[in-house]
Each structure stands twice: as C-alpha cells, then as structure tokens.
Copies of this chain bind each other. A is one copy, B any other.
Amino acid sequence: MGNIRATFRSQCDNSHAMDARIPSSNNESPWLPFESRRRARDEKREAVLRTAVALFLEQGYHGATLNEVAKRLNITKPALYNYFRGKDEILYECWSIGNELVDDCIAETSAGGGSGLDKLRKLIVRYAELMTADYGKSLVRFDIHDLSEDNRKIVQTAKRRIDRAFRDYITDGVKDGSVKACDPKLAAFAIAGSLNWIGHWFQPDGELTGRAVAEEFAIRLTEGIAETTTQVTSTRKTTTRKAAAPAAQKADKPPRKGNASREETSEHHARTAADAAGQSKRARSRLR
C-alpha cells in the first residue's frame, strides 16, 4: 500500500510559525535557501529522490548532473553525499521505490482473489497507472548498465519476480478457465511490453489521464486471451467464480520466493536485499 513514502505533506505545515517563510512558489524542496533547516532526514532523502528521478527522466541519467539536482533543492552537491554514496546509488534508490510500488500492486492483487483473469486485469490497471508517474517510469527508462554490479543483480532478480507475477496470473487463468489456452511466457511479454511502454510515451499533461489509460489497457490487453468475450460493463465475468477464497490478509506480501530459472523476463526491476525480506516500508535510512 502507499506506505510512508506518500509523505506529501506540504512543507508549509509549520505549526508554530517561526520559519513560516513559504518558498517562493513550488512544493518541492525542504531546504529553504540555506537558512532554517531541521526537517526529518528521511523527508530530505525523499526530496532528493523526487528531484533526481524527475531530472533523470527529463535529461537522461548521464545528461543530468548532481550539481543540477542539488541546485533544484537549494543545496550544493556535496550535501547530497550525506544521504547517498554516489550518483548510481541515487539512481538505484529511485528505481527501488518504483519497484516497491510494483510489489505492492502485486501483493494487493494476489490478496484480492478472483479468477486468474480478474487478477491479471487488476494488476494491469495498477501497473499501468504506475507507469504514468515518475517512479514507475524509472523502472523502464533507466539503463541497467548504470548501476553497480550488486544493484544490477538485484534489479535483474526483481525483473524476474514481476514477470513471474504476470505469468502466474495467466497460468491461473488458464487453469480456472478464465483465460484461453496460450503460452504464458509470450503472453506475459506482450502485456508487460505494452505496459512498460507507457513509461515512454505517457505525458501527464496530455489529454489522457493515467487512470483512463490504465482501464482501457486492462481491457484491451486481455481481449485476446480472455475466454469470455468481454462485454463493456462486465469486468467481473468469470462465470466460474472460484469461491473467493483468499480475501484473507489485506496488503501483506507473501514472500514470493523467486525460483531461479535462467529465462528471460519481461521486466526490469528489483529491490534491496534488505526489504526483500518482507515489508516495503520506506524507513531504511541506511548510509555509510
């Protein structure tokens, strides 16, 4: 679920006045131009990431400099090194947040129950919407070669896990009769490809909302493999309602142990070994 990382509380919530100087306009940096500081460390860390991911997407990882990132935050480059070991770690962390968001999607979807097709569509909707936002885009726009060796491995592992989710839902669907017989591998590739591509073309200021794209894609991408012809209104077809079994736990993620097949995956993503353990809390303030 949207854990703490959704800390969008404005930095103008200054209860006891004092430094009530509102930054000239925007809602970004917690660093007022070199004066009153003192805001939670994690909050600053996230501000760095927000700025970095936006800049990386805007100018490319190599086109964006740390000086520019710092400048947008009203600080200087070395200050960034209080929160990150280097540029590539910033890149990785951006990616990691996106990956956690995806993990949450998968967890929710798996917990939600329903037929294979139902789950597939739910995942598509959520995943697609992620791809319209910065952290989601980072999953598909950043180059794996720019990561450290270790992080690259993590990313590749996560790729496989996400691909696995798509394939599993499809396989489930074939079994429960909601999905036509097909090759789960290729079908997953096709679907993931369409979704990932959103991260390349979607523009927030366009005429389409992320939500609209997501819902359209949920139908479009499953039209070909859905066993029952999809009528407009019936998103919940699945005549063979498999007794909504596992509504059980809410948003807790099953460890989802990834086996190790040496196959290609339709994804790129990962997470740290740390949070690979379980919760996708964004509370790790590791460093140094």
Contacts and interface: CB of A to CB of B under 8 A. Distances in A.
A234 to B, nearest CB: 10
Interface in A220-279: 220-225, 230-232, 248-255, 257, 260, 263-266, 268
Interface stretch (A36-44, A73-81, A96-104, A203-211): A203-211
A250 B265 contact: no
Contacts of A145: 59-60, 62-63
Contacts of A203: 264
A111 interface: no
Interface stretch (A11-19, A112-120, A188-196): A188-196
A187 to B, nearest CB: 7
A230 to B, nearest CB: 7
A260 to B, nearest CB: 6
Chain copies in the assembled complex: 2
Contact of A217 (B182, B190, B201, B260): B190
A213 interface: yes
A201 B260 CA distance: 15
A90 to B, nearest CB: 16
Contact of A264 (B206, B263, B266): B206
A186 B220 contact: yes
Interface of A: 59-60, 62-63, 143-146, 182-183, 186-187, 189-198, 200-203, 206-209, 212-213, 215-217, 219-225, 230-232, 248-255, 257, 260, 263-266, 268
Given A186-B216, A222-B224, 14 more contacts: A62-B146, A183-B216, A190-B194, A190-B217, A194-B197, A201-B264, A206-B264, A219-B251, A221-B224, A223-B223, A230-B250, A231-B250, A232-B248, A232-B249
Smallest CB-CB A-B distances: 4 pairs = A193-B197, A223-B224, A60-B145, A212-B254
